[in-house]
Amino acid sequence: MTHSEAVSSKYNQFTDLAAEKLGGKVLYATDEFFAEKENLIKQGRGIFIADKYTDRGKWMDGWESRRKRTPGNDWCVIELATPGSLLGFNIDTNHFLGNAPLQASVEGALLDHSPNDEEILSDDIHWQEVLPKSPLNPGGQNLFDSINHEVFSHLRLHIYPDGGVARFRAYGKVFKNWKDIDPEDEIDLAAAINGGKSIHCNDMFFSSMNNLIMPGRGANMGDGWETKRNRNPDNCDWVIIKLATKGQITRIVIDTKHFKGNYPESCMIEGCSSLKDSAVLEGQINWFPLLSRQKLEADTAHIYTKIDSHSEVTHARLNIYPDGGISRLRLFGKILH
């Protein structure tokens, strides 16, 4: 696999709930003199340009505060893309060597709104410890397990006493109260923001399967799922999506935006119903058709309303022929309580 962010395998099955791409935001930082707080949740690990400077000093791809000459420490507040239960963190100090913090900690809070600066600076928010003060290694990925698995909507990242962090990842599970969803509403059951997850594929040489279920349309050709050119006759590449919750699929969107000379010739989609991901991954289930094989066009959002099956679906498999790139996959349907 290339062009993908290296993360400990124990977090691969979880979603980065803080990711800007998913809808996360950095609301506040005590200091961002050298580098902006918004960089923390951008894609990738951050880059280094040796000769690039600003009027404040060395340009850095991350969040960096000035050298602290007063008591205390710097911190920032991150609004998660969606409330969720946190399993682990990656506090990445990539390229921050002589300017990395010594330690970091994380607190969480559950709010029903986005707080303004005044509220953030007040004592009105009930913060709970999620990661105790922990040592950081400079210039690398620092992986930590969460000690608190309650549902949170906001996180406060502390660095001690100051310095720079390239990226911050908060891996967890999306929380959604499905009892509050009208069974007659049509919802994208594959969407990451709702709890959908790409769990396996046979190839993602150029770009990750996780992009398929991100919000919005693809930003460019790298913002999709793209396999390498396959020279085997009758090849089929595939990806398996675990739905946010079981449901009946009523509408499918397959978007090849930005894929012009490298979109698949055709595709088809199958579904299954299983309580266990392991049974799906080990082939212990029976796939049934959802969308018969369809010819695709370049740079187009294909919309299908004629679904082959109205059975209960928990997982879907997108097959593309013979290879190529898909920007987004939407599996709209009605939930089944």
Residue 281's Cβ-count burial label (10 Å; 0-12, 13-18, 19+) is: middle
Low-confidence ranges of the chain (pLDDT < 50): 1-6
pTM of the prediction? 0.92
Indicate the residue type of 29: A
Strand partners, 301: 255
The rounded distance, in Å, linking the Cα atoms of 325 and 259 is 6
DSSP code of 35? Answer: B
Which residue, 60, 311, 315, is CA-closest to 199?
315
Residue 327's Cβ-count burial label (10 Å; 0-12, 13-18, 19+) is: buried
8 Å CB contact between 141 and 90: yes
Instruction: Note the pLDDT of residue 337.
Output: 76
Residue 49's Cβ-count burial label (10 Å; 0-12, 13-18, 19+) is: exposed
Which residue, 276, 302, 305, is CA-closest to 290?
305
- For residues 179, 151, 197, 192, the Cα torsion angle rounded to the nearest 10 degrees is 80
Strand partners, 254: 302, 329
Structure tokens at 20: 């800007």
Instruction: Note the pLDDT of residue 286.
Output: 96
Structure tokens at 56: 């404040």
Structure tokens at 190: 């594959």
In the chain the domains, ranked by start, together with CATH numbers, are 9-174 (2.60.120.260), 178-335 (2.60.120.260)
| Helix segments in the chain, DSSP class H | 117-121, 277-281
Instruction: Note the pLDDT of residue 4.
Output: 38
The rounded distance, in Å, linking the Cα atoms of 156 and 127 is 8
Instruction: Note the pLDDT of residue 7.
Output: 54
Residue 149's Cβ-count burial label (10 Å; 0-12, 13-18, 19+) is: middle
Structure tokens at 326: 């898909």
Structure tokens at 178: 């499905």
Other beta carbons less than 10 A from residue 300's beta carbon: 15
Instruction: Note the pLDDT of residue 150.
Output: 97
